[in-house]
Structure 1
Amino acid sequence: MRKFLGLLVISTFLVLAACGGSGDASGNKERETVTIGYFPNLNHAPAMVAKQKEMYQDHLGENVTVEYQTFPDGSTFMKALAAGEIQGGLVGPGPAINSFISGVDVQIIGASSTGGTVIVSRDGSGIKSWEDVEGKTFISPRVGCTHDVQFETYMKEKGITSERIGGSMKHVTGEPARYQSLFEKGDVDVATAPEPWASVMEAKVDANVVIPTSDVSFGETLPAAVMVTSDVMIENNSEQVQKLVDAHKKAVQYINDNPNEAIDITIEGIADITDQQLKKSVMENAWERTNFTYEVDADVIQEFGNSSHDLQFLKEKPDFEGFVNKSFIQ
């Protein structure tokens, strides 16, 4: 089925290319547009740095117009990728896995960061450790998203599960940028928070760290965000994909070489999207919990997928053959 869908999309792409042509009557090459997607989270900082420093534009060249689109969650990102609205970008491994298994033509071509997932509780909830979470309400960006799987894997190993699979924890979803207001209203007790939102809530609403990044399942090994593109892009525009990856690698290196300036760029990038101006001290705290790298470990992706199956987010144990493509980051 995946192969059939891939061929159908590729055939459509080729037909459209033939109808549209690659230049005008005088032979001048038309400008292409490449749209890159990402989220307003710290683990997507490489996209914000590459945007601000025009790294994608520099690598793709003057005949390409680079545009950007931001998303509140991985599901909407993956729908945009499948529809050809974006050509690639950064997304959590959870949504990428779910889409791959569902037949969407997507490949992981690199990582963005590891770490950065923190489980925090609302001040006044009485929750100080994982033992206190039973029967409480927790929030994640989406059901079965990366942060949800990390949290539920950890809790299941402790003998506590969500109502979805017969347990006691209640589960709601929402954008991480809204977690603070939900804590203030008392609507949720626990948040699976990607940075910098965990640090924001620690600073502004006295949220308690229940499970730190170092302890949550896959916390320091799983890519918090991965760089993905479609099979169509790889098969028809492999040189362009390589340029995207090269720009991404340059952004990651810049972050590691210039953390202070990278923090400023990320604060500005998040403010542009969420209208929230984060304090530098908050971002510095979040930065300590995050490791920026473009290297991706296929074995960890498989372990994470197996855990998603164990939690019944996936009906079958996943087969990730052809999913992780490391040829562009070598």
Structure 2
Amino acid sequence: MTTLDRPSRRAVLAAAVGAPFALPALTACGAAEASPHRLRLGYFANVTHGVAVAGMARGTFAERLPGVRLETQIFPSGPSAVQAMLAGALDVAYLGPNPAITAWVRTKGQGVRLVAGGASGGAALVARKGIESVEELRGRRVSTPQLGGTQDVALKTLLREKGIATGSGKDAVEVLWMANSQTLDQFKQNRLDASYQAEPWVSRLVEEAGAHVLVDERTRWPGGRFATTCVVVSEDYRRRCPEQVEALLGAHVDTVRWIRAHRDEAATLLNSEIERIAGKKLKPTVIDRAMSSVEFGWDPMLTNIAEVAEHTWATGGIEVKPNLHGIADLAPLNRALAARGLERAADGGYGARGKA
């Protein structure tokens, strides 16, 4: 458990169902031509990463990537997934926008590309009974899953807007970084006052620990939509295996459409997979509540992500004022969408050929 006073920007960085269609023939890529290629895919056992969870469980990813060996890694947070990707141990990751932004800035635009959105919504600041406003968090303990993660930046941005410092003392908020399961235990023991979380942990804290939603993040963005999950690929994989990236994104789109058309079945599937991965099934009230707050999709929401990048910089998450020009490559996604008769995704001026 680590307490946040005011870390340097450098310290933060260091921590950091559709119509039928023809499947393209996938060719071997790069140095993997002598053997079947593998795709190393990372995601979380979270409802907000439901597209990856369901896509793997239903076999959609494997079906759309014939001849490709899929290897999955489950991560506890975005910064840890980014570390694996930048170390060359991961090809594709579902993660929050802040780790993606940090990876882009750290590598000066050479390490990763954002290729699709994954989910909107499903994040909130929850507090224990008796705390009815953000101002009442002064002098109290608040957790986030990890330093530099999406919820960590969201919390710091909220506190900054309210003029509340982070650190020790009666007028500041003591921010702690801890595993989600530890946060739940701390709430049950009345040793933690609030936490900024993504689903299903928002609902678990409400349903199992008596917390209540203090700030639903949907209330902080126009139209209630903001990027919770995005799909990021390593630049090396994107260049070597463009057909596989497109096929994966086609599977992503197909899985989103299936979830939207089969919400109850999808909730049951996600719950079973969370139990398989994490060892414990969610209560029906928890999975139902969590699913109701998440919108699954492929919209990258790049204008929103650009604003999030400004928040990341303002709260110390990146050392330089961000320039996201070129962060996105939506060409593979738009080809997959066109093959399904769907409208193309807009890059908001942040695509490879867009305007910064």
TM-score range, shorter chain: 0.7 to 0.9
For 1:22, the aligned partner's letter is E
Picking from 94, 111, 117, the partner of 1:111 is 117
Cα displacement (A) at 1:179:
1.9
Q: Which runs of 5+ in 2 are unaligned?
A: 1-28, 335-356
Cα displacement (A) at 1:94:
0.7
The alpha-carbon distance between structure 1 residues 169 and 175, as it changes in their structure 2 partners (threshold 3 A), is same
SS at match of 2:156: helix
In the alignment, structure 1 residue 46 sits paired with structure 2 residue 42: no
Cα displacement (A) at 1:216:
4.2
Is contact 1:35-1:86 (8 Å) kept?
yes
**Which residue is 2:324 aligned to?**
320
SS at match of 2:172: coil
The alpha-carbon distance between structure 1 residues 169 and 219, as it changes in their structure 2 partners (threshold 3 A), is farther
- 1:88-167 to 2 correspondence within 5 Å? 88-103=92-107, 105-123=111-129, 126-163=130-167
Deviations 1:84-121 (A, max 9, x none): 22210201111111111111601110011001111111
In the alignment, structure 1 residue 185 sits paired with structure 2 residue 189: yes
In the alignment, structure 1 residue 236 sits paired with structure 2 residue 240: yes
Root-mean-square deviation over aligned CA pairs: 2.0
SS at match of 2:306: helix
Cα displacement (A) at 1:154:
2.0
In 1, Cα distance between equivalents of 2:299 and 2:271: 24
**Which residue is 1:4 aligned to?**
none
**Which residue is 2:265 aligned to?**
261
For 1:233, the aligned partner's letter is Y
In 2, Cα distance between equivalents of 1:274 and 1:218: 34
In 2, Cα distance between equivalents of 1:271 and 1:220: 30
SS at match of 1:320: coil
**Which residue is 2:84 aligned to?**
80
SS at match of 1:79: helix
Is contact 2:207-2:285 (8 Å) kept?
no
Picking from 55, 59, 83, the partner of 2:64 is 59
In 2, Cα distance between equivalents of 1:177 and 1:41: 12
SS at match of 1:215: helix
TM-score, structure 2 as length reference: 0.80
For 1:318, the aligned partner's letter is P
Is contact 1:154-1:217 (8 Å) kept?
no
In 2, Cα distance between equivalents of 1:233 and 1:135: 46
Cα displacement (A) at 1:217:
5.8
Identity of counterpart residues, as a percentage? 25
Deviations 1:130-166 (A, max 9, x none): 12111211111112211122222222222223129xx
Picking from 292, 295, 302, the partner of 2:306 is 302
**Which residue is 1:270 aligned to?**
274
For 1:116, the aligned partner's letter is G
Is contact 1:151-1:217 (8 Å) kept?
no
In the alignment, structure 1 residue 31 sits paired with structure 2 residue 36: yes
Number of equivalences: 303
**Which residue is 1:172 aligned to?**
176
TM-score, structure 1 as length reference: 0.87
In 1, Cα distance between equivalents of 2:328 and 2:181: 30
In 2, Cα distance between equivalents of 1:198 and 1:81: 27
Q: Which runs of 5+ in 1 are unaligned?
A: 1-15, 24-29
In the alignment, structure 1 residue 22 sits paired with structure 2 residue 33: yes
- 1:213-224 to 2 correspondence within 5 Å? 213-216=217-220, 220-224=224-228
SS at match of 2:224: coil
**Which residue is 2:23 aligned to?**
none
